[in-house]
């Protein structure tokens, strides 16, 4: 999908949704001040349950975001939308419908036949992190879940590598074993 997105704005939108595991509301609410490129962190403010959290920003995403900001010069919100500023409820942010449309359009352009929505990218983020060995408690924090049970649902759909299973005795003895001469 990143390759299929033709607009830099859409590449960054897809990159943040997948690369940070964001909800639609969260990507729409990103302000320029929420990105800390030095520490490689994105501050998610007042998300579901009115909670804040920090998620890591990839170096690739930071480069793209800097390019996007330099080209588009957004003020306030990272992603701005078009609309009637005098219209009821318009505050300058990219709309929920706009984000959803962009994701569906890009998935279609990428040749993905399966139904793809904003939340699909969030699910994929969680599964890929688990498959790469992230522990479930850390993932819970990154996802902003209130309960570990919600995060554990991803364990059923991920393809976890059986080769990573081992006994703690193996690592204990490996650390305590005298060096081989």
What positions carry a catalytic annotation?
23, 48, 119, 122, 145, 154
* Cα–Cα distances in angstroms (integers) from residue 83 to residues 24, 92, 94, 163, in the given order: 19, 8, 9, 52
For 109, phi and psi rounded to 5 degrees? -65, -30
Which candidate, 98, 70, 92, places its Cα nearest to that of 8? Answer: 70
Length of the chain (residues): 181
Buried b (16+ CB within 10 A) or exposed e, 7-40: eebbbbbbbbbbbbbbbbebbbbbeeebbeeeee
Which residues is 55 bridged to in the sheet? 42
Edge-to-edge strand list for the sheet holding 41-44? 35-36, 41-44, 53-56
């Amino acid at each position: 999908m990143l390759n299929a997105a033709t607009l830099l704005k859409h590449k960054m939108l897809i990159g943040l949704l997948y690369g940070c595991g964001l909800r639609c509301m969260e990507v729409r609410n990103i302000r320029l001040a929420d990105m800390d490129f030095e520490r490689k962190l994105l501050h998610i403010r007042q998300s579901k349950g009115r909670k804040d959290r920090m998620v890591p920003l990839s170096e690739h995403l930071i480069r793209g975001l800097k390019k996007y900001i330099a080209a588009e010069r957004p003020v306030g919100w990272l992603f701005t939308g078009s609309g009637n500023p005098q219209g009821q409820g318009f505050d300058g942010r990219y709309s929920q419908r706009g984000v959803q449309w962009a994701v569906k359009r890009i998935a279609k352009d990428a040749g993905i036949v399966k139904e793809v929505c904003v939340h699909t990218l969030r699910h994929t983020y969680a599964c890929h992190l688990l498959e790469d060995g992230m522990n479930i408690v850390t993932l819970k924090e990154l996802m902003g879940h209130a309960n570990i049970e919600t995060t554990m649902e991803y364990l059923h759909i991920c393809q976890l590598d059986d080769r990573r299973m081992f006994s703690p005795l193996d690592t204990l003895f490996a650390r305590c074993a005298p060096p081989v001469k």
